[in-house]
Amino acid sequence: MSVVKSDSVGWLLDHQAYINQSYRCCHHIPPDTRCCRYIFKAAYFDIEKPHIGDTESKEDQEPVGGDSRPKGRKRKRKSHALNQGEVDAEEYHKQVSLTIRNGTRKLIEQSTVSRIPVGRECIKRQITPVAADSMLVELCSMAKQMTREQCHSVQVISNEADSITNLNLLGHLTENSTDCARIVMLMGQRYLLPPHSSFLLSDISCMEPLLGYKKYDVITLDPPWENKSVKRSKGYSHLFPWQIQQIPVPALSAPGCLVVSWVTNRQRHLRFVKEELYPSWSVDVVAEWHWVKVTRHGEFVVPLDSTHKKPYEILVLGRYKGSPERQNGEHVTETITVPDHKLLVSVPCLLHSHKPPLGEALKGLTTPNPECLDLFARNLQPGWTSWGNEVLRFQHLDYFQELSTGGDSDCCILRQSSAQVISPSC
C-alpha cells in the first residue's frame, strides 16, 4: 500500500514503500533456486531538508507541520518585470496556494511521512549515476527501421521451466505474467520487472504494438514538455504540443477511460491540455489535482511562494467520451464523479521525473480491477502496462539493493526468466 493517510483533502503517499512491496514473492525453478529480495535504494528518497529558494521570507521558511529548525540564509531577490507567462503563473498560484498549504498541513499532522533515513555515509555511497541511463533512448532511435519491419509479437514471461534469457525487448510488448519479479538483460544491462507488469520500449513513432493489445480504463501520461531547462539539457529530449497530440489515446481507451496528465506549472501547458489536447482526444476535463513535494519532516521541498520553483505539480483528470460501456445494462464509469482539488503529498524521488503512484488514489473512479496504461513512463508498476523510450530506466538493477532473506520465502525474486512468445497474425 502506498497510502499512509487518506483524508477529505487527499492522500499522504509513501512512494518508496510502494516500490519495495513490488518485489516480495518467490518462485523456484532449477537449477537456480536461490531467492532474494530487492528494495529501491533508500538514498533516492532521503530528503531531509528543503532546498531554500531565492525569495523566501521568514514566513516561507516556516515548516508545514510546525517544526522550527533554522533554515538557510535569505537571499536577495532580483527585481525584473514579469512577462505574461509569469503573471499568469503567479495568478494561478494565488488561487491554489492556500488550499495546498492548509491541505498539506492537515495530511502530515501526526503522520509518519516516510521511513527512518539511512546514514549519511551510506547515502554518499549509494547516489551514483547509472551508466546505462542514456542508452535506452539511443537504442530506440537505432531500432526504428528494424521494429517497423517485424511482426509485433507479445513476449509472455511465464512459470514454465524453459528459460529464455535473450528476449528481444525493443519494439516488442513484454509481459511478466508471474507472481515474481524477474531480471531481464538488454545490451549487457540487468533490469527488474515487477510481477504482473507489461511494457513496450519504443519511441513515439513505434507505438503500434500497443494498439489491439488492450483497451484501458486508466491512462496516465507524463509528457516531456518543452521548456528552457530542457532545451539546455543534453540528456532530456522534449516533444512539441502537436507531437503529444498525435498519441492515439482514443484508440487505447475503453469507454469512460480516466485520462490523467502530469503538467508543469507553465500556464500555457495547462491551457493546452484543457483547451486543445483533451478536446482533440474526445476527453472532458473533470478535475484538477496537485502533487505536493515535502521532506521527510513534512516541510515543502522549496518555499511554497518561491518565484523560482514551486513544491507542487499539476494533474489534469479527464473522462474519455467513447460510446458508454454498459455492465448489466448500466453505465460503468460515466456516472462516477471525480472529486476536484485533491492533493497527493509525498517525499519525492531524487531521480528526475520519477512520479509517485496514482493507482490507490484513483480507486473507485473506474471499473473494478481496471486495465491501466502509463505513457512516457520511466519505470514499471505491477498491474500496469508502461510505454516510453526510457520505460526501463529506473528498473535498472543498480537502483536497487539486494537483501539477504535467509529463509524468508515471501520476499524474493527469481533469478532466471522463462518466456513463451505469442505471435498474433500480422
Domain with residue 123: its CATH number is 3.40.50.150
For the ranges 62-76, 185-199, 309-323, which has the lowest average pLDDT?
Answer: 62-76
Q: Is residue 421 scored above 50 in pLDDT?
A: no
Residue type at 302 in one-letter notation: V
Position 24 scores a pLDDT of 61
Model confidence at 124: pLDDT above 50: no
* Residue, of 54 and 227, whose pLDDT is higher: 227
Evaluate whether residue 282 is within a structural domain: yes
Beta bridge pairs of residue 36: 413
- If one counts the domains in the chain, the total is 1
Higher per-residue confidence, 127 vs 92: 92
User: Residue by residue, what is the 3-state secondary structure of the chain?
Assistant: CCEEEEECCEEEECHHHHHHHHHCCCCCECCECCCEEEEECHHHHCCCCCCCCCCCCCCCCCCCCCCCCCCCCCCCCCCCCCCHHHHHHHHHHHHHHHHHHHHHHHHHCCCCCCCCCCCHHHHHHHCCCCCCCCHHHHHHHHCHHHHHCCCCCEEEEECCCCCCCCCCCECCEEEECCCCCEEEEECCEEEEECCCEEEEECCCCCCHHHCCCCCEEEEEECCCECCHHHHHCCCCCCECHHHHCCCCHHHHEEEEEEEEEEECCCHHHHHHHHHHHHHHCCEEEEEEEEEEEECCCCCECCCCCCCCCCCEEEEEEEEECCCCCEECCEECCCCCCCCCCCEEEECCCCCCCCCCCCCCCCCCCCCCCCCEEEECCCCCCCCEEEEECCCCHHHEHHHEEEECCCCCCCCCEECCCEEEEECCCC
Range of the domain at 269: 3-69+83-422
How far is the C-alpha of 19 from the C-alpha of 6, rounded, in Å? 19
What band does 150 get if pLDDT is binned at 50, 70 and 90?
low
Residue 415 vs residues 198, 313, 394: alpha-carbon distances, Å: 18, 38, 19
Average pLDDT over residues 236-244: 84
Residue type present at position 1 = M
Q: CB neighbours of 398 closer than 8 A, spacing ≥ 6?
A: 128, 130, 132
Dist CA 372 CA 358 (whole Å): 10
In a domain, 119, yes or no: yes
- pLDDT(230) > 70: no
Q: Please report which confidence band the pLDDT of residue 236 belongs to, taking 50, 70 and 90 as the band edges.
A: low
pLDDT at position 353 is 87
Query: How high does pLDDT run on average in the chain?
Result: 80
Q: 105-114, pLDDT tens digit by residue?
A: 999 986 755 4
Give the model's pLDDT for residue 403: 82
* 30 within some domain: yes
Is 139 inside any structural domain? yes
Section 224-243 average pLDDT: 70
pLDDT at 418: 41
Burial class for 234, CB neighbours closer than 10 Å (0-12, 13-18, 19+) = exposed
Which burial class, exposed, middle or buried, applies to 110 when counting CB atoms under 10 A from its CB (0-12, 13-18, 19+)? exposed
Weakest mean pLDDT among 125-129, 297-301, 326-330, 390-394: 326-330
pLDDT for 127: 59
pLDDT at site 310: 94
Residue 177 placed within a domain: yes
Residue 341 has pLDDT above 90, yes or no: yes
Q: What pLDDT is recorded for position 36?
A: 79
- Per-residue pLDDT reduced to its tens digit, 349-386: 999 889 999 999 999 999 999 999 999 999 999 999 99
Average pLDDT value for residue range 159-178:
76
Q: Is pLDDT at 54 greater than 90 in this prediction?
A: no
Amino acid 146: pLDDT: 54
Mean pLDDT for the stretch of residues 84-107:
94
Return the higher-pLDDT residue of 93 and 418: 93
Q: Does a structural domain hold residue 397?
A: yes
Residue 76 lies in a domain: no
- Kindly tell me if the per-residue pLDDT of 8 is higher than 60: yes
- Domain membership of residue 75 (yes or no) is no
